[in-house]
C-alpha cells in the first residue's frame, strides 16, 4: 500500500480512497502499535522547522521511534532555509542522507519546492496555506466521536487560516458538512473553497461560509476554533483581537450548537481569547484526543509514504 503521490503537501491531493486509507491505517496503528514497530527500521526523518512546535515535533519524533526509525530535529537557526542555503540545495543534500523530510515553513511555496527538488517524500507539517496532518488527526478524532464522518456537522469558528483550509479539504474528501463562521475579510482563500467544493461533488459534502458565529454553530455536532493570529501574524494580535472578539467559543456559543456537540482546537490554545477555560476543559472537549491522534495519523502517513510494503 502506497499513496499515489510521492509527498503529502495538501489533503486536496489525496483521493477519497487514500484519505480513508490513512484514517483506517491510523486506527489499526492506534489499536496495535506493535505490529508496525519495524515499518521504518533504519530509516531517518529530517524535521525542518521554521516555526515553533510542541505537538508536531514530538508526535513525528515519537512516531518515527515507534516505527523503528529515527528523527533529526532541525531548528530554525540550524538551516535558515533559503538564507544560509537555497531550498533546492537543502533538498539535494537531504535526499542523500535521509529517507523522508517533514517541513514546517512560513511560505507554502517552500515546502512545495522542497518536494519538487528532492526524490524522497516530503510532508507538509504546517505552512501558511495548510496543515494537512492536523486535519487528518482531527477527522480521525471526529470519526471516533461520531462513528461515521458523513454524520459530522462541523462548524469552524474564527480565522479562515491554514487549519481551516485543511479542514475544508478533509470535509470535502469524506462527505461531512462544514460551516466556516468568520468575520468579513477573514474568509478562507477563494481558491481553497473552490477546490474543496469541486471535491465535495464526489462525496456530497456540504461546505458553506457565514459571518455569524451563532448561525454557524446552529445544528453543529462539532465546534472547532484556532488562534486569531497565527504564527507570523504576531504584529496583528491586538487588531485581530478586537475583530474576532464576537467569535470567541464560550459556554454561551456552545449552548447554541447542537445538543452534545464536541469541541475541537488544534492547539496551542490562547485561553480567554478564542476559547474560554470552561469550554476547553469541559466534558465536550476532545482537544487532547486530537493531539494524541496526531501521532497515529502521522505514523500512518509515514508508513504509506516510506514504510516496508510487506507490513501492509
Ligand atoms: N497543532 C500543532 O500543530 O501544534 P504545534 O504547533 O505545537 O506543533
Ligand atoms: N493557525 C495556527 C496553527 C498552529 C498549530 C498557526 O499557523 O499558527
CA separation (Å) from 235 to 184, 227, 228, 241? 20, 14, 12, 11
Residues 114-118: contacts with CB under 8 Å, at least 24 apart:
114/48, 114/87, 114/90, 115/6, 115/7, 115/9, 116/91, 117/87, 117/88, 117/91, 117/92, 118/91, 118/92, 118/94
* Fold of domain 11-131+294-306: Rossmann fold (3.40.50)
Judge whether 145 and 284 are in contact, CB under 8 Å: no
Q: What's the pLDDT score for residue 287?
A: 98
11-131+294-306 and 134-291 in the same fold? yes
Supply 117's cell numbers.
527538488
How far, in Å, from the CA of 52 to the mean position of ligand 1? 8
Give CA–CA dist 239/248, Å, rounded: 15
Q: Which residues, in sequence order, are CB contacts of 194 under 8 Å at separation 6+?
A: none
Give CA–CA dist 116/100, Å, rounded: 13
Query: CATH assignment of 134-291?
Result: 3.40.50.1370
Can you give the residue ranges of every domain in the chain? 11-131+294-306, 134-291
Hey, whose CA ends up nearest to atom 7 of ligand 2?
Answer: 230
Atom of ligand 1 at shortest distance to CA of 133? Answer: 3
Pocket of ligand 2 (CB under 6 A): 126, 161-163, 226-227, 230-231, 266
Q: Which of 105, 167, 266 to mutate to test the pocket of ligand 1 (most atoms within 8 A of CB)?
A: 266
Atom of ligand 2 at shortest distance to CA of 162? Answer: 1
Give CA–CA dist 299/293, Å, rounded: 10
CA angle at 277 for the pair 271 and 283, rounded to the nearest 5°: 135
Q: What's the pLDDT score for residue 160?
A: 98
How far, in Å, from the CA of 226 to the mean position of ligand 1? 11
How far, in Å, from the CA of 279 to the mean position of ligand 1? 20
pTM of the prediction?
Answer: 0.98
Backbone angles phi, psi at 206, to 5 degrees: -120, 130
Three-class SS of residue 132?
helix
Q: What's the pLDDT score for residue 141?
A: 98
Place of cell 481553497: 192
Give CA–CA dist 75/48, Å, rounded: 7
Residue 210 CB-density burial (10 A; 0-12 exposed, 13-18 middle, 19+ buried): middle
Kindly calculate the radius of gyration of the chain based on its CA atoms and give it in whole angstroms.
19
Judge whether 112 and 9 are in contact, CB under 8 Å: yes
Three-class SS of residue 248?
coil
How far, in Å, from the CA of 114 to the mean position of ligand 1? 21
Per-residue pLDDT of the chain (312 residues; tens, 9 = 90+): 889 999 999 999 999 999 999 999 999 999 999 999 999 999 999 999 999 999 999 999 999 999 999 999 999 999 889 899 999 999 999 999 999 999 999 999 999 999 999 999 999 999 999 999 999 999 999 999 999 999 999 999 999 999 999 999 999 999 999 999 999 999 999 999 999 999 999 999 999 999 999 999 999 999 999 999 999 999 999 999 999 999 999 999 999 999 999 999 999 999 999 999 999 999 999 999 999 999 999 999 999 999 987 654
Amino acid at each position: 500500500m502506497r499513496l499515489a503521490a510521492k509527498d503529502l503537501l495538501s489533503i486536496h491531493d489525496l483521493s477519497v480512497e487514500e484519505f480513508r486509507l490513512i484514517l483506517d491505517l491510523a486506527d489499526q496503528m492506534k489499536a496495535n502499535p506493535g505490529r508496525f514497530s519495524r515499518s521504518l527500521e533504519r530509516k531517518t526523518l529530517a524535521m525542518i522547522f521554521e516555526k515553533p512546535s510542541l505537538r508536531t515535533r514530538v508526535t513525528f519524533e515519537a512516531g518515527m521511534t515507534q516505527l523503528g526509525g529515527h528523527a533529526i530535529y532541525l531548528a530554525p537557526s540550524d538551516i535558515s532555509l533559503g538564507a544560509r542555503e537555497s531550498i533546492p540545495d537543502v533538498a539535494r543534500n537531504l535526499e542523500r542522507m535521509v529517507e523522508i523530510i517533514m517541513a514546517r515553513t512560513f511560505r507554502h511555496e517552500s515546502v512545495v519546492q522542497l518536494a519538487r527538488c528532492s526524490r524522497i517524500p516530503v510532508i507538509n507539517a504546517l505552512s501558511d496555506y495548510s496543515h494537512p496532518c492536523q486535519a487528518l488527526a482531527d477527522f480521525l478524532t471526529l470519526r471516533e466521536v461520531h462513528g461515521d464522518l458523513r454524520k459530522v456537522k462541523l462548524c469552524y469558528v474564527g480565522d479562515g487560516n491554514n487549519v481551516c483550509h485543511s479542514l475544508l479539504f478533509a470535509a470535502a474528501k469524506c462527505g461531512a458538512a462544514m460551516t466556516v463562521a468568520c468575520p468579513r475579510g477573514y474568509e478562507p482563500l477563494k481558491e481553497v473553497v473552490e477546490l474543496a467544493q469541486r471535491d465535495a461533488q464526489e462525496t456530497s459534502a456540504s461546505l458553506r461560509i457565514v459571518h455569524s458565529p451563532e448561525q454557524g454553530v446552529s445544528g453543529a455536532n462539532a465546534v472547532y476554533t484556532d488562534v486569531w493570529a497565527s504564527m507570523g501574524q504576531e504584529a496583528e494580535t491586538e487588531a485581530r483581537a478586537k475583530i474576532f472578539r464576537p467569535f470567541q467559543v464560550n459556554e454561551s456559543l456552545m449552548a447554541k450548537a447542537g445538543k452534545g456537540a464536541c469541541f475541537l482546537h488544534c492547539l496551542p490554545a490562547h485561553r480567554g481569547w478564542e476559547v474560554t477555560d470552561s469550554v476547553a476543559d469541559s466534558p465536550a472537549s476532545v482537544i487532547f484526543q486530537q493531539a494524541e491522534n496526531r501521532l497515529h495519523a502521522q505514523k500512518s502517513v509515514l508508513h504509506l509514504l516510506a514504510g516496508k510494503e510487506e507490513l501492509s
